[in-house]
Amino acid sequence: MKPTEHDIAGMFDVISGRYDLLNHILSGYTDVRWRKLVARLSLDRPVKNILDVSTGTGDLAIAFRRASGTARTYGLDISMEMLKIAGRKSGELIRINGSALSLPFKDNTFDLVSCAFGIRNIYPRERGLQEFYRVTRPGGRIVILEFSMPRGVFGTIYKVYFDRILPLLGNLLSGTTAYSYLQSSVEAFPDPQTFSGMLTSAGFQNIRITSLTRGIATIYLCEK
């Protein structure tokens, strides 16, 4: 059974205090480099308004704000505790506690809509993508950073780490079972080709897929 929004909010409220540290440790700080790359790819042209959905503790939204210099940047998340941490990191980030399934913005508002490691927690996913499309202005962009499962020999080795070691370490360090959910949610997420088809069905075009670190994560950059 897929978790409800209430379930997701509660889980991230609980792990919020250790979320950043755990992400950095379990990824070997690769997540920091991934976000910088997302900002660089997305901000190769001027933007005025940015919405980061499932912003969590705000790392990607803050990277956008710093890289753009002047863009008005909003971070939306269903977890209030995560948003509190984002607020302590940056007073310039406009924080909104809300659902990705019903974004509290008018149509055609944002030059850029982003979502890092959050799209797999949005159910139904198609409805979330429709909301992303609705609030993106014509000619604007959506960028999604999400985990993926690598293939080949490296994929086989990585799967051992991902199935056995990562949940064990994550649960031990966080004191919860949240990282068991992480493992199962990533494995259930569509492969890049299937997910790009979902983006096309939502109305996006010119989809560019960038594989990171041998396929551990993927960037999807497309336009309305």
Average pLDDT over residues 49-53: 98
User: Which tens digits make up the pLDDT trace of 145-190?
Assistant: 999 999 999 999 998 988 888 888 877 777 777 777 878 888 899 9
Lowest mean pLDDT among 10-14, 73-77, 177-181: 177-181
Q: Reply yes or no on whether the pLDDT at 61 is more than 90.
A: yes
Q: Classify domain 5-149+190-223 at the CATH topology level.
A: Rossmann fold (3.40.50)
Collapse the DSSP code of 72 into the 3-class scheme (helix H, G, I; strand E, B; otherwise coil) and give the result: strand
- The predicted pLDDT at position 191 comes to 95
- The predicted pLDDT at position 184 comes to 87
- The predicted pLDDT at position 40 comes to 95
- The predicted pLDDT at position 195 comes to 98
Best CA proximity match to 3, nearest among 203, 181, 206, 217: 181
User: Which tens digits make up the pLDDT trace of 110-125?
Assistant: 999 999 999 999 999 9
Q: Reply yes or no on whether the pLDDT at 47 is more than 90.
A: yes
Neighbour-count burial of 38, counting CB atoms closer than 10 A to its CB (0-12 exposed, 13-18 middle, 19+ buried): buried
Alpha helices in 70-151 (DSSP H): 80-89, 125-135
Q: Reply yes or no on whether the pLDDT at 91 is more than 90.
A: no
The structural domains of the chain, with segments of one domain joined by +, span 5-149+190-223
User: Which tens digits make up the pLDDT trace of 122-137?
Assistant: 999 999 999 999 999 9
Q: What is the pTM of this model?
A: 0.94
Output the CA angle 131-185-6, nearest 5 degrees: 60
